[in-house]
Amino acid sequence: MIELTPKIEEALKAASNVKRRYLLMSFSGWPDAGRVASLTTEHFAKGLKAVKLLEANSSKIDVYDLTVTRPIVEIREGLIQSLILPSASLYLWKSDEQDASITIFSGVEPSLRWKEFSDIVLRICGATSAQRIYLVGGVLDQVPHTRRPRISAVVNMEHLKTEVKLHGLELSNYNGPASIHSYLMLRAREYGLEAISVWGHSPTYIAQPNAIVAFHVALKLAEMMGIKVDLSELKAMAEALKMSLNKAMAENPDFRRLVEEIERQYDSERGPLYIS
């Protein structure tokens, strides 16, 4: 299990004496379509210049079944080079100027011991006196990249519905297999802790990491938290991806027809919302 050493606990407690205190979490794997969640927290940590408190792989964190969450192996000309185990990182940012602190967790979704893992999450929240957990996810959807990204939300308390709608997020309707987001949100509610799960919808036809959606999700999170974060690198990635996709549409008639068909269906249901 993740070990919160006295040094880490001390750092977390030092971040509790500001007005706004949040925990931001993402999990790679099933709830990270288009790598939207991973890109968002990665660039939040980078843009805030957050301090890394912990990095540990599955040899130190016993929440991964390696037959479910497979390690990544590199082999060159028949010779095995390396093996990358599932891992997790914990970052901390605090700003007296912005009167805020954010603890950032980024890691592979646990496949084992969800209760014990959530106990650690709640312990982190207790150490920082966190007021809210933000979870970030990515989901594949029949949406075109030529429209403003669709962002939906799930909340763990009734009064949060109004807030997310005021920020332009859609309230989700879903019935099916759950990610650890759902489990953490319910555990947080038991402790009276607010939690909002924010999901960026990525077009099914984009195979590479979707920086376009991640950038808009990151902007929305910064808005909801009321903080300033440098997202220029993620913005540049988003613009490069958009140019690449538009070029592909211009050069590949089949791809253009696919996108245009998704546009027609999307616009008939929701109205045309273009990226500004």
Blockwise average pLDDT, block size 10, the chain, 276 residues: 84 94 96 97 97 83 85 95 92 97 96 93 96 97 94 97 96 92 97 97 95 98 97 98 96 96 90 58
Coarse DSSP helix, strand, coil percentages of the chain, rounded to the nearest 5 percent = 40, 25, 35
Q: By the 8 A CB rule, do 88 and 60 touch?
A: no
* 221: three-class secondary structure by DSSP: helix
Q: What is the pTM of this model?
A: 0.92
pLDDT computed for residue 269 by the predictor? 83
pLDDT computed for residue 1 by the predictor? 63
Residue ranges making up the domain that contains 41 = 6-270
Q: How many domains does the chain have?
A: 1
Closest CA to 102 of 93, 110, 89: 93
Distance CA 201, CA 253 (A): 24
pLDDT computed for residue 273 by the predictor? 61
Instruction: Give helix then strand counts, H and E, for the chain.
Output: 8, 10
Length of the chain: 276
pLDDT computed for residue 274 by the predictor? 54
CATH at residue 77? 3.40.50.10900
Query: Domain for residue 34, yes or no?
Result: yes
- Residue linked to tokens 């931001």: 24
pLDDT computed for residue 238 by the predictor? 97
Query: Domain for residue 120, yes or no?
Result: yes
